[in-house]
Amino acid sequence: MPSIYESLDEFIQKAAESLDLPEGRYRVTDDVIEVAEEFEAAVEESLLEFLGKRSLTAKTYKSLSVVDQVNVLMEKGDAPYYILCTLLNLEEGITDGSWNKFFDSPKEIETIKAFLKTELEDFIDSNGGGFLWEVIEEAAETQSENFREDE
């Protein structure tokens, strides 16, 4: 399963494409890693809040403590990666079936999706903003200047 850190360069590439920047090999910057770490912590905190009120409903996981349920989603569910994909409206995400093993119905997944969209909107919002996306775009724009100079 993918990790958010293994995929940051892909997100920078997607940003470069959406900004019509030149083709090139975009790299992850320290700023992107720093904000991704903040995003990962915010995801974990948001899941703790959500699962403190509700629970994973799949039989295998519903008897676990809240902390253990969060750990399951963070590790087995690759929560930061799939949540980021979901917030960016990509094909991959928590609603593509990857989280069906944790919840009994798609309605429950839609409920957590709505909650996470609100909780994490400072990082990624529905308008393509938020400071995680901004730092990703900034990394693409800064590096694209180097590609233009090389032409």
Confidence of residue 24 (pLDDT cuts 50, 70, 90): confident
What pLDDT, on the 0 to 100 scale, is given for residue 5?
Answer: 83
- With a threshold of 0.75, does the pTM exceed it? yes
How far is residue 145's CA from residue 137's CA, in Å, rounded to a whole number?
13
Evaluate the CA torsion angle 19, 38, 42, 94 in order and state its sign: positive
Ranges 29-38, 49-58, 83-92: which has the least confidence: 83-92
How large is the average pLDDT for residues 73-81? Answer: 94
Q: Where are the domains of the chain?
A: 4-150
Helices then strands, each counted (H, E), the chain: 6, 0
What pLDDT, on the 0 to 100 scale, is given for residue 110?
Answer: 95
Residue 46, by phi and psi: left (phi above 0), alpha (psi -120 to 50) or beta?
A: alpha
**Angle (CA) 20 124 37, round 5°:** 105
How large is the average pLDDT for residues 20-49? Answer: 93
